Structure 1
């Protein structure tokens, strides 16, 4: 990476919104010669129900699953677009918004999907996207998935 190459961070969680964001980033980076860092944050599940639950994955298993999900999303999207834009991958244990903001410190651009896996289906902007838009120290692009 050189000083002339824009550094672009993208949040990936496997959701349609994050896949749309990843497609947008790869096209953008191809045109501007930018470098891409795809970030997937994971956290152990918080069980609040008193019903019997399946055994929780270990942190090691959860991290491995997150790495697999990120690799799959990046590889499939790169193949779909037939692009050779190099994508750095970073899996972080913690809250998605905090992980994205930390990684985007010093970046030229942060890109997120309009909605991830959580929240309300009718919401136009999810909580992670809202937090990033409000607190990032760089420009933020919010990408909506194509209408189905």
Structure 2
């Protein structure tokens, strides 16, 4: 009898799990472009699309930011995590439609986007992020988050620059 990778004699290997494509989003037009790109890649590869959004009290993607710090816990006010999850789910629906054509997981994690995305890259096949688009020389330079992800991710990275009509500042 031979042993398989798990060390059990005669056992059959289970089918490998579906690959995971991570899309980092923050609500910006270029993150929407990255989400579209990642969804198409997930469809082509038969992968799961994992949409990840890191949030902090100072994040511009959050609706009301630090005001929630002072809300009474029993005031019926949704938590920052709940608000960010709702906004992320709305972004997915607005960008990909009601039926995105691939399985979608949503992960909303408290912390700086750089750390959250690098952690999300662990075990993924690919991570896709946008970069703040600019024209000219600025356009050749990646944003701080996308630069950090390209340097520290634990999988392949695609940086979607965004279309000229969706680039911020133009």
The TM-score bracket by the shorter chain reads: 0.7 to 0.9
Aligned counterpart for 1:102 among listed residues 93, 114, 119: 119
Q: State yes or no: 1:72 paired with 2:83.
A: no
1:69 counterpart SS class: helix
Match of 2:18 in 1: 5
1:22 counterpart SS class: helix
Conservation of the 8 A alpha-carbon contact between 1:10 and 1:39: yes
In 2 relative to 1, CA 107–61 (structure 1 residues): closer, same or farther, beyond 3 Å? same
Q: State yes or no: 1:83 paired with 2:100.
A: yes
1:77 counterpart SS class: helix
Match of 1:119 in 2: none
1:57 counterpart SS class: helix
In 2 relative to 1, CA 55–86 (structure 1 residues): closer, same or farther, beyond 3 Å? closer
Q: Distance in 2 between matches of 1:15 and 1:57?
A: 22
Where structure 1 has 5 or more consecutive residues not aligned to the other structure, the ranges are 47-53, 117-121
Over 4 Å off, 4+ runs = none
- What do the CA deviations read for 1:8-65 (whole angstroms, capped 9, x no partner)? 111011101110000001111111101111001111129xxxxxxx962239532222
Q: Distance in 2 between matches of 1:90 and 1:140?
A: 18
Conservation of the 8 A alpha-carbon contact between 1:74 and 1:87: no
The 5 Å alignment of 1:9-88 reads 9-45=22-58, 56-58=67-69, 61-79=79-97, 83-88=100-105
Q: Distance in 2 between matches of 1:20 and 1:35?
A: 18
RMSD: 2.3
Q: How many aligned residue pairs are there?
A: 134
Where structure 2 has 5 or more consecutive residues not aligned to the other structure, the ranges are 1-14, 60-64, 72-77, 166-170
- Which structure ranks higher in relative contact order (CA pairs < 8 Å, sequence separation ≥ 6)? 1
